[in-house]
Amino acid sequence: MGTTRTIVNRVELLRRLADRPAAQALIQSTRAAKTLQSPGRLFVAQATRNGRTGAYRLRDDGLRVLLRHRTRDIVVLNEIFGRYKYEPPADAPLDGPLSIIDLGGNVGLFGSWALTRWNVRRLVSFEADPANYRLLRAAAAPHRQWQTVAAAASSQAGSMRFITGRYSESRATGDDEPGVAVPAVDLFAELSESVDLMKIDIEGSEWPILQDPRFAELDARVIVIEWHERHCPSPPAEHFAERLLRKAGFSEVITRPGRFASNGIIWAWR
């Protein structure tokens, strides 16, 4: 019993140590170093340039990405390029040159991954947070097939109250939360051609889109959604998202757990 308790205590102690910001920064830096060229420069910048932006090249493809040091940008890089967060199921119909819509473009890491993963003929990324958008636009600039839109994707045009400055976790406000007005576009009115893949990661703003009656008519072959408990009108969120997708005619629906109980990934296609 004494040995078991000692092991448990040590594991708990190690867990608490690993959760400290300095330890997390080191862990995330070590993971990112496997993905990027110039790993030494990354380690130095992570230690000395808190919040400052650095430009790096992906190790395998040489594609340029922009990251704000010691922020969630590094975590998102590791999720997408290290854990392959958006790697599709083997039988997802994603062949040929693809047209991709990216809702929640953040700083362009999903878009960059998509360019390395597929033959992309058109990529359109929507991002509402102004600080994120500046980096997204810079990441997209060298790629003529990549367009960016400085607005929130929604089910109606106008404006949206938004909490900015939270990196990948910037989002629409809840009741009584302070925020600023950002432009919002009607996604369904904006789409002028068929889409091979639509990626949706908009921190709880997916629900008005999924519930819109026009969603069933959306000309999108494959959809990948990171669902969120936040703003979900009918929890549990995973089951509600799955029901809405099936109601819209997506016959193949594959769920994957997220890192936390409050979110997860769903792939769906007709």
| Residue 260 confidence (pLDDT) | 81
Confidence tier at 221 by pLDDT (50, 70, 90): very high
When pLDDT is averaged across residues 11-37 and rounded to a whole number, the result is 79
The boundaries of every CATH 3.40.50.150 domain in the chain are 84-269
| Residue 225 confidence (pLDDT) | 98
When pLDDT is averaged across residues 9-29 and rounded to a whole number, the result is 71
Which residues are CB-contacts of 8 (< 8 A; sequence separation ≥ 6)?
A: none
Inter-residue contact 103 to 129 (CB < 8 Å): no
Confidence tier at 7 by pLDDT (50, 70, 90): very low
HSE of 165, CA atoms in CB hemisphere, 13 A:
4
When pLDDT is averaged across residues 56-78 and rounded to a whole number, the result is 95
Q: Which residue has the higher pLDDT, 81 or 21?
A: 81
**pLDDT above 70 as % of the chain:** 92
| CB neighbour class for 252 (10 Å; exposed up to 12, middle 13-18, buried from 19) | middle
Distances in Å between the alpha carbon of 39 and those of 33, 65, 203?
Answer: 5, 14, 31
Inter-residue contact 23 to 9 (CB < 8 Å): no
When pLDDT is averaged across residues 216-225 and rounded to a whole number, the result is 96
Confidence tier at 165 by pLDDT (50, 70, 90): very high
Nearest to 54 by CA among 32, 64, 69: 69
> 84-269 has which fold?
Rossmann fold (3.40.50)
Confidence tier at 23 by pLDDT (50, 70, 90): confident
Joined together, the tokens standing for residue 197 give: 């893949």
The model's pTM is 0.91
Tell me which amino acid residue 225 is.
I
When pLDDT is averaged across residues 170-180 and rounded to a whole number, the result is 94
DSSP assignments along 111-162, one per residue: HHHHHHHS-EEEEEEE---HHHHHHHHHHHTT-TTEEEE-SEEESSSEEEEE
Inter-residue contact 197 to 224 (CB < 8 Å): yes
| Residue 151 confidence (pLDDT) | 98
| Residue 154 confidence (pLDDT) | 97
Mean pLDDT of the chain: 92
When pLDDT is averaged across residues 158-162 and rounded to a whole number, the result is 97
Residue 241: phi and psi, rounded to 5, are: -60, -40
Q: Strand 180-186's sheet: what is its strand order?
A: 152-154, 180-186, 158-163, 171-172
Q: Which residue has the higher pLDDT, 245 or 270?
A: 245
Nearest to 42 by CA among 69, 62, 61, 21: 69
Q: Is the pLDDT of residue 9 over 70?
A: no
Q: Is the pLDDT of residue 8 over 80?
A: no
When pLDDT is averaged across residues 48-70 and rounded to a whole number, the result is 94
